[in-house]
Amino acid sequence: MRVLFTMNPAPGHLFSMVPLAWALHLRGDQVLVAVPQPLHQQVRRAGLTAAVVGGEASFFELWPAGLELGGNEELDLDVFVAIAERTRDDVGALVRAWRPDLVVTEPVEYAGPLAATRAGIPWVLQHWGLPVPEPAHRSALARVEPRLSQLYGGIVVDPPALTVDTCPPSLGAAAGGTPMRYVPYNAACTVPDWLLEPPRRPRVCVSMGTVPIPEGVDGLTAAVHGLRDLDVEVVVSGAGVHGVADLPGNARRIGWIPHNQVLPSCALFVHHGGSGSSMAALTIGRPQLLMPQMCDQFAIAERLTAAGAARCVPFPERSAAAVRIEAAKLLSDDGYRARAAALAAEIAAMPSPASVADRIAALVRA
């Protein structure tokens, strides 16, 4: 079976889909990943084969003028439609030339489903982890409907033959989705010696994700300085780490180390509320302090705090003092760890990517 993955040019979008791509590959299927040039090296580092579509299309090039990133809770799909406008013809040509049996895509990638519909082949939708609430997604789709209609050229895109849902059921899995265990992937590294030694004090990981925006550096700075006076060891990772000035004595910059390697030794994860970061902490059962800064991160923060596995510093209130107060509460209350551990057990009981790959193959055969 030939399977074409299509996705937007963002590492976080790729990372969530690597386990299913590898599960299909290990079945003996041929897997090809179609992405714009800015992401093709990340695809190759994941051990997958890339095809470049859409040239140099990127979020920063196509982000709507005047639309603020930091503090913006609105789900704006214009940039995703703009990327699909760049990739549509290339993805269509690739489908005609490579002739896949199936297309697998993500919730806001629009060229893949169109190409699959035109070719008369099924397509599968995979959610990232914690999906955007459906009312918010419908509202955002309505705002870009004229551009989507023009993109589709009058074609009614087929619905997905299967929807893969990696959200644990108690956090609101999509109705009718096929559950799949979330398996963290954040690229590879060489494990440093210090990570193999038990921490002498509670370890706290701080990260603001993979998108290098000024608000991320501000969040990192507030977090590390808020943790300065607590009896903890702080490790700072992800984008923007070198923008933090006057790093406290209890903190270290660790560069790129996958969260699933760091978090098992941590007592707390302080981050921006991205779906990948949130799910990585959930799979390991670690409490989270969320500092959402854009888009669906605010909805994720609401969901995890309501579940009792996290606390939140609202965007207008982010400061070192607020981080210190909230982190101290999380570290001193075992209830947060217990609820996070229960969610980890729920995730572990979900079907593996390998079993979902088999189900997809059966769907295509049928």
Q: How far apart are CA 359 and CA 337, in angstroms?
A: 34
Query: What's the CATH code, domain 2-182+350-365?
Result: 3.40.50.2000
- CATH level 3 topology of 193-348: Rossmann fold (3.40.50)
DSSP annotation string for 115-180: HHHHHT--EEEE--SSPPPHHHHHHHHHHTHHHHHHHHTT--PPPPSEEEE-S-GGGTPPTT-EE-
Residue 161, number of CB atoms within 10 A of its CB: 17
Predicted model pTM:
0.93
The whole-number pLDDT of residue 69 equals 63
Note the pLDDT tens digit of each residue in 177-213. Answer: 899 999 999 888 899 999 999 999 999 999 987 766 6
Low-confidence ranges of the chain (pLDDT < 50): none
Same fold, 2-182+350-365 and 193-348: yes
The whole-number pLDDT of residue 245 equals 78
328 sits in which H/E element: helix 320-332
Q: Any bridge partners for residue 289, and if so which?
A: 270, 311
DSSP letter at 76 equals -
Residue 359 CA neighbour count, 13 Å, CB half: 16
The whole-number pLDDT of residue 128 equals 85
Q: Provide the greatest CA pair distance for the chain.
A: 62
Q: How far apart are CA 310 and CA 65, in angstroms?
A: 34
DSSP letter at 239 equals T
3-state secondary structure of 5: strand
The whole-number pLDDT of residue 70 equals 65
The whole-number pLDDT of residue 81 equals 95
Note the pLDDT tens digit of each residue in 31-51. Answer: 999 999 999 999 999 999 999
Residues 327 and 204 sit within 8 Å (Cβ to Cβ):
yes
DSSP annotation string for 58-74: -HHHHSPTT---TTB-S
Q: Domain ranges in the chain?
A: 2-182+350-365, 193-348
Residues 22 and 5 sit within 8 Å (Cβ to Cβ):
no
